[in-house]
Amino acid sequence: MYSADELLNKVNQCLEQLPYDRQPASLYEPIKYVLALGGKRIRPVLTLLAYNLFKEDPEQALMPAIGLETYHNFTLLHDDLMDNADMRRGHQTVHRKWDANTAILSGDNMLVLAFQHVAQCDERHLRDVLDLFTVTTLEIDEGQQYDMDFETRNDVTEDEYIEMIRLKTSVLLACALKTGAILADAPADDAQWLYRFGEQLGLAFQLQDDLLDVYGDPAVFGKAIGGDITSNKKTYMLINALARANDEQRKELMGWIEAKDFDRQQKIAAVTRLYNEIGIRQLCEEKIVHYFTECRNCLQKVGVPDERKQQLLDYTDGMMKRRK
């Protein structure tokens, strides 16, 4: 079996060698730029780890894995445009380096390329793989729309939020794992347990992101903390704070949410203090443990020997150790 690091090297080598020989070059330069910015390549590595549970030649799943990574980066490119973000992974975003029209058109082309890469698999699996990928892309857009809708609401429930992050984040991890299983001729039950594993892992991962945005160390987390607080983003933290606050706490919290002019650090400190008073940190940590435990339980039900699961277990443990 291959280690996760060995599979990551295969992914990076393949991405570096992708030919972009169509014209005009100006359409493809932003795509090469985005894919060269790096990142953890979590989705393609999960695809190959899932394949390697059942078969020893993960190269057979490499192009579909590259397709999922291309699609993921397409979503980031469009997210950056929608958010009017200046930087991504320490570099200018595409719409800043070029312009908005270039970002839209190159992003659209990335989506097509993603489908083209995903389709480079054995004909026996093509229908199942494309059907799964198509549904996943629809669900991710649905999750993004829910997230946008939540911006103007202060009554978002925890259940609504969990469903939103399941669609926006979890289903692509789940798709990656199930794709690897399908391509490896895994039994249908095993493929579905791996999908469920990815779904639960994604929920834990996103909730940890919510937590670290408030309590993380910027040097470890990779970005400044408090961005969710200053933008009033409807996270697990804020939703539960609004639901559990007493009258006085809720009044103060709503004051910060409705404030148009504020000192950034003062708002972060005040809202964090309210989270501490209400017990939101512990609540979120318990929910993360719940979903991570659920995902491990799902992997236990996959019908391969435990020693073959160890690389996947170690890799997902590493995903969840972005500590404070």
Q: Is residue 200 pLDDT above 70, yes or no?
A: yes
| Separation CA 306–CA 300 (nearest Å) | 8
How many other CB atoms are found less than 10 A from the CB of residue 160?
15
Domains 1-120 and 125-324 share a fold: yes
What topology is assigned to 1-120 in CATH?
Farnesyl Diphosphate Synthase (1.10.600)
Q: Which pLDDT score is estimated for 80?
A: 95
Contacts with 243 (C-beta within 8 Å, 6 or more apart), sequence order: 157, 158
| Separation CA 45–CA 15 (nearest Å) | 13
Contact, 222 vs 209, CB < 8 A?
A: no
Q: Is residue 324 pLDDT above 50, yes or no?
A: no
- Residue-averaged pLDDT of the chain: 96
| Separation CA 93–CA 309 (nearest Å) | 37
Q: Which pLDDT score is estimated for 184?
A: 98
Q: Is residue 152 pLDDT above 50, yes or no?
A: yes
Q: What is the mean pLDDT of residues 30-51?
A: 97
Q: What is the mean pLDDT of residues 166-178?
A: 98
* Tens digits of residue pLDDT in 106-135: 999 999 999 999 999 999 999 999 999 999
Q: CATH number of the domain at 125-324, please?
A: 1.10.600.10
CA distances, 278 to each of 137, 239, 273 (Å): 37, 12, 9
> Domain coordinates of the chain in residue numbers?
1-120, 125-324
CA distances, 277 to each of 14, 164, 233, 281, 295 (Å): 49, 27, 20, 10, 30
Q: Which pLDDT score is estimated for 322?
A: 57
Eight-state DSSP code of residue 309: H
* Tens digits of residue pLDDT in 185-195: 999 999 999 99
Residue 91 — φ and ψ, nearest 5°?
-130, 160
Contact, 220 vs 206, CB < 8 A?
A: no
* Tens digits of residue pLDDT in 215-246: 998 877 667 789 999 999 999 999 999 999 99
Rounded to 10 deg, the angle between the 158-165 and 123-150 helix axes is: 140
Contact, 186 vs 52, CB < 8 A?
A: no
Q: Which pLDDT score is estimated for 222?
A: 64
Contact, 140 vs 171, CB < 8 A?
A: yes
Q: Is residue 145 pLDDT above 80, yes or no?
A: yes
CA distances, 71 to each of 4, 26, 172, 287 (Å): 21, 20, 10, 29
